[in-house]
Structure 1
Amino acid sequence: MYNFKMLDTFYVSLFCITTLILFIAFKWISFDSNTKKTLPPSPPRLPIIGNFHQLGSSPRESLRDLSNKYGPLMLLHLGSIPTLVVSSAEVAREVMKTHDLVFSDRPSLSIPNILFYGSTDIAFSRYGEYWRQLKSIVVLNLLSATRVKSFRQVREEETGLVIRALEESRGSIVDMSALLGSYTSNVLCRVAFGKTYYELGFTDKLKKFVDMLGTFCVGSYIPWLSWIDRLSGLRGSAHAISKELDHFLEGVIDVHLNKKMGSGDETQDFVDILRDIQKDKTIGFRLDTNTLKAVILDVFVAGSDTIFSSLDWAMSELIKHPRVMKKLQQEVTEVAQGRSTISEDDLDKMKYLKAVVKEALRLHAPLPLLLAREARNGVNLMGYDIPPGTQVIINAWAIGRDPVSWNEPEEFKPERFLNNPVEYKGLHYEFLPFGAGRRGCPGLHFAIVLIELILANIVHKVNFELPNGVKDVDLDMTVANGVTVQRKFPLLVMASPRV
């Protein structure tokens, strides 16, 4: 008589062994297949941390130096995350134009997820229908040319305050960096909220927010070590900062709910506009309150640090290069024709001003490493096989200083942009201060108007010299380490009236 129980056990064991053999064979074939893939050149890596140890205190410079050795398309492993580093205009064009759709996603990162309400903003949200609709709404309603023009009075009033502060300094030392920071923050506050919020310390809250955004989070790159972020208090600090700003934004929204509007769109700020979109049932998109707050935070994070740092560096370069300052002053004087101020209508006539701003942005890209992208699916890039899920970092700072694209790339020479078609709009990949493609910065026009207007008026009204007898050529241009490229030390000047 057959022992059916033993027979059943035999077949179960045989099935398990067969399954195990097939599994091992499948993994071996997969491994063998991966080893045959052509991957970009890569420096040696360490266990667990990968290539993190090679980033150093200045990742933009370390990555540029590595790319000089391994090529403009290089594969690093940041923890367990395969990451492409792009350091030339040619490769940037392939990523941001030829394969833009493939590389249009964002990686899921712990800190932005906490700070931006689950990354429901434009900058950090994953690519898809939600992101497309949200970006379309924001660009159309907040950042269109018409909307940017509607805030002209705000820009002109805040510019006037800066000029007045410089004129009233009467030869005393002025912290130009702080003055430009206040200008940027005040314009953004008035445009977004309708007023400034000195009394509630909004600027200090925002600084903590931005600093947290640039903090390294272990769990985003080595998931099985994510407990370190909890143990170190990083996640707790991120939640605390998020809660603090959320409380502030809730108060702002409550004020707007009870505000009586005047007639005409010109009286509306960003919160008013977004509240109107919330009420509009015809757009087919639900803009909830958390998304509204995430978008407002986007405006400040993308605008405050980047616009301020761009202004700070442009002023620093002008003071360090008296020849350029004098040439710009001559242009401003000719355009002003005896008037005391430069208006926004004058800016299109000022070709050298535009060249100065471009050159400052080339040398000091506000976001030196553009926000990471992620491959949505596998693709062949420059002859290499790129697996889905691979992150991409574009070193805009290195590309802006690449001797292949620029003569004397370390020198400040605005003349290189005269009679030169290179623009900000992401069509020239050797110049990427605002990125390019689907993930390019939608607020570039808003930013450029702010920068050009204040620079033109400062140069028109004021002469500068450095305190304590320091010569222009000796101005300290040391860079601080952070998400954005900012001066390590504030720009201190002495101002005197020019006209």
Structure 2
Amino acid sequence: MRKLCTVHLLSNHKINSYRSTRSEKVALMIKSIKPSAQDGGVVDLSAKASDKKKTKDFVDTMMSIMQSGEAKFQFDRRHVKAVLLDMLVASIDTSSTSVEWMLSEHLKNPNVMEKVQKELEEVVGLNRMMEESDLDNLKYLNMVFKESFRLHAAAPLLLHEAMEDCIVDDFYIQKGSQAIVNSYSIHMDPNVWTEANKFLPERFLESNVDVRGRDFQLLPFGYGRRNCPRMHLALIIVCLVVAQLVHCFDLDMTEKFGIVTGRAKHLMAIPTYRLHN
């Protein structure tokens, strides 16, 4: 299943081929928020980021395979459930949670939002909606993304399994043992990150640390061969959605909240449309 996803479904070529679809979906989301912006109403940004109205084509296909008995391998309800957990929970929930937390940090740190919006005005302007191709030119925004992934990794514990007996720092690990990497602890290590509890995007100003698993001090998607196979697509979707919302709207929220893995309550904000079109 992982090879199928990595080589066919989530390859760079396949992801790029759906760029127009992503742009269309984000534009529809912005359009759905505009009436509330005009009326000064409150918008549930959590619901917008994790729309549950999904078609059941994927489930229908698996159920038909199971019921037809044409599969060349054992395929029953347990396999359907396992695939759904891998493909849906691991992809939809993690992305929507990341969008929520990034928007939360923008709202909690208005000075950061102001800098991001200023950069968007300089690079994109207010006469058009930003596009996916603009993301590489938004340096400060990318620092904000990195800092948000550091503080709010969707999966703070990375699960691995020892493929053979090995010794790590004098600890004997038996083949088949489950090894859990605490990425949250790594991201909050004061020996690596100055003022680790604070949201400081500027810490990446003179740093080449990346979120793709090449640097072991920042591992929101894991690392090595067992990293998140959906990482490239997730980065595009999460960053595009957040950037579009911040570009198109001024968001207002007076409440403050603590930093946890997931928000206890939905993120609610009042949008004000910024673009000229």
TM-score higher than 0.5 here? Answer: yes
**Which deviations, in whole Å up to 9, do the C-alpha atoms of 1:327-381 show, x marking residues without a partner?**
000111112134321111111111111111111110011011122x232332221
Partner of 2:232: 445
Does the CA contact (< 8 Å) of 1:478 and 1:489 recur in 2?
no
**Of residues 167, 192, 213 in structure 2, which corresponds to 1:380?**
167
The unaligned stretches of length 5 or more in structure 2 are none
What does residue 340 of structure 1 align with?
128
Tell me the matched-pair count. Answer: 267
**2:250 aligned with 1:457:** no
Aligned 8 A contact 2:63 2:80 in 1 = no
The one-letter code sitting in structure 1 at the alignment partner of 2:131 is S
Within-5 A mapping of 1:339-418: 339-371=127-159, 373-418=160-205
Give the C-alpha shift of residue 249 in structure 1.
1.5
Separation in structure 2 between the aligned mates of residue 333 and residue 252 of structure 1, nearest angstrom: 46
What is the CA-CA distance between 1:391 and the residue it aligns to? 2.4
Structure having the higher Rg = 1
- Structure 2 partner of 1:477: 258
Pair 1:249-2:40 in alignment: no
Specify the alignment match of 2:268 in structure 1: 492
Residue 7 of structure 2 is aligned to residue 140 of structure 1: yes
1:184-263 matches, within 5 Å, as 196-197=54-55, 249-250=59-60, 254=64
Q: Is contact 2:62–2:80 with CA below 8 Å preserved after alignment?
A: no
Amino acid at match of 1:164: K
Q: Percent of aligned positions with the same letter in both sequences?
A: 36
Structure 2 CA distance, aligned partners of 1:287 and 1:335? Answer: 52
Deviation at 1:323, TM superposition (A): 0.6
Separation of aligned partners in 1, 2:73 and 2:62: 17
| 1:140-188, Cα deviation, whole Å (9 max, x unpaired) | 1101111111221221122112212221112111111111111xx56xx
CA–CA distance in 2 between the matches of 1:292 and 1:154?
27
Q: TM-score, normalised by structure 1?
A: 0.50
Whole-angstrom distance in 2 between the partners of 1:308 and 1:287: 34
Measure the CA separation in 2 of the matches of 1:152 and 1:358. Answer: 22
Q: Of residues 95, 99, 115 in structure 2, which corresponds to 1:311? A: 99
1:427 is aligned, of 208, 214, 231, to 214
Residues 1:379 and 1:349: Cα distance change in structure 2 (over 3 Å): same
Residue 111 (structure 2) aligned to one of 323, 335, 346: 323
Aligned partners of 1:478 and 1:488 also within 8 Å: no
Structure 2 vs 1, CA of residues 354 and 154 (structure 1 numbering), >3 Å: closer, same or farther? Answer: same
Distance in 1, matches of 2:7 and 2:248, equals: 36
Partner amino acid, structure 2, of 1:475? K
Name the Cα RMSD after superposition.
2.6
Q: What TM-score do the two structures reach when normalised by structure 2?
A: 0.87
Structure 1 CA distance, aligned partners of 2:252 and 2:184? 29
Deviation at 1:248, TM superposition (A): 7.7
Q: Structure 1: where are the runs of 5+ without partners? A: 1-133, 187-195, 203-246, 256-277, 280-285, 480-484
Q: Which residue of 1 aligns with 2:47?
A: 178
Displacement, 1:306? 0.7
Asked if structure 2 preserves the Cα contact closer than 8 Å seen for 1:249 and 1:293, the reply is: no
